[in-house]
Chain A
């Protein structure tokens, strides 16, 4: 499986990862449309910043994922094939139990749909996740395990 590792010594806090994450999860996958005319998707990566330090953090796709064990509906599952922890929006009821237990604050609410879909899905349609591919400083690394 692949994992994304942040490297804070290279991050300049430009938040391009957040922007490209939003675009990748938009309907059109077009940056202008995603931000101007479509319903803007929830970002699935968050840049944490304090003083001079910053880094981008998204779901760790934990091996013993607390969100999977806690999920009330069974919507949050670890894909045994890819190792990715993914939310099935069909089954998610928006109870926020996953948000309550995620040690990384990596799940966001999609308030319009009332689902907890705002979490990293490792961009299943891409070779390299959008945040990694678009970080100008290689502050996000993709590692194959």
Chain B
């Protein structure tokens, strides 16, 4: 007889760990089993570039302290892949042929790199840059001076470029679009980042794809670009994009053409089965429709709400938006919501200060739907929160581009509510005190 668990969780990253913690916040007793395919306890995936660059050591990779699973009362199956989920029987089977029964199941299977079909690619021992193991491989293969070719200038490609450059490698990035970080940034911020990268010695070729690859053995080779240009490399990193990792969900019978579909409570269409994280097509409050925002904070938030709902607390997922915090070679850039308006139904206001800082907000009617701040980023979170709240900003529009924009510019009642919301009891205490009670 297979053992039965109140909760089974597949995945061991942002969504899974936050789900665990949320479940335990509600249910101290229920049994939890958690499966992670990778041979690590939970670590922070975005930190792999910091590790390669030598900014942190291995022990800095862990997302939670050692002893986490024990303290949470979680049975952790490290290095174990779940191969099959049978939703009707509420069972799952692992690659070690262990069979487990569950009452509630969370699919937090994350993303996988998308590998385009480039002629010659199969012959080359290339890298992706999405896991701790990938980081180890990059460290080993940049131990001696190397020419590194990175295909794709999205977040992962640029992080790989930064890391390889910190290792002393000669780095070239090839990107099909006309600019770097085309999704997270607008044209101006892209240019600013590009400038920094160029100063740091990274070569970036845009508007170009790799047409063909030719192996020279040991991972080395030559790339032929679409315009016929050629480039030799010692290490090739493929970073053109990521896709939801849905083979398990598909096998269980879920429609996953755009990622795992969930309702407002992170429930899938199968009874007792929940999903959270990069594998999921969940509500984007700015777009007003489900979208995949493959980002750590979004995965963590979804995990948290999935966990709460699995444990029986009926709370709707508040929704998220596309938001990015990046820094390249000393230039921090934060963005949230829509930074590249798709049509002219938006109002864009921006300013570049003498000091070189850049600030931009995007409005749809009177509602703030996007922001981007580069340089002095300190208070940009206030803008993010107004975007998330779909706030009408008509009365404060003239202040949005100011670095000092803050609660002082909001109507007094709004500001007081925001500031004291976290402490409902406080104002009462204060009122009592003012009355001399």
Contact = CB atoms under 8 A, between A and B. Distances in A.
Interface string A73-105: 110000000000000001101111111111111
Nearest to B22: A69
Given A5-B420, A100-B381, A93 B430 contact: no
Interface stretch (B1-9, B42-50, B100-108, B131-139): B42-50
A5 B431 CA distance: 12
B63 interface: yes
B381 A69 contact: no
Interface residues of A, number: 45
A67 B379 CA distance: 13
Contacts of B56: 93
Contacts of A57: 406-407, 419
Contact of A99 (B55, B377, B422, B429): B377
B297 to A, nearest CB: 4
Interface string B252-287: 000000000000000000000000000000000000
A104 B381 contact: yes
A50 B408 contact: yes
A6 B419 contact: yes
A105 to B, nearest CB: 3
A73 B408 CA distance: 32
A63 interface: yes
Contacts of A107: 378, 381
Interface in A99-127: 99-109
A53 B408 contact: yes
B332 interface: yes
B327 interface: yes
Which residue among A46, A54, A108, A143 has the maximum number of chain B CB atoms within 10 Å of its CB?
A143
B419 to A, nearest CB: 7
B205 interface: no
A72 B46 contact: yes
A104 B407 CA distance: 8
Contacts of B324: 100
B418 interface: yes
A87 B154 CA distance: 29
Nearest to B336: A100
Contacts of B433: 141
A16 interface: no
Contact of B44 (A55, A61, A63, A72): A72
Given A74-B44, A93-B60, A48 B323 contact: no
Given A72-B296, A93-B50, A101-B323, 16 more contacts: A5-B427, A48-B408, A49-B408, A55-B407, A61-B422, A74-B44, A74-B63, A74-B64, A93-B55, A95-B325, A98-B381, A99-B377, A100-B323, A100-B380, A101-B381, A103-B385
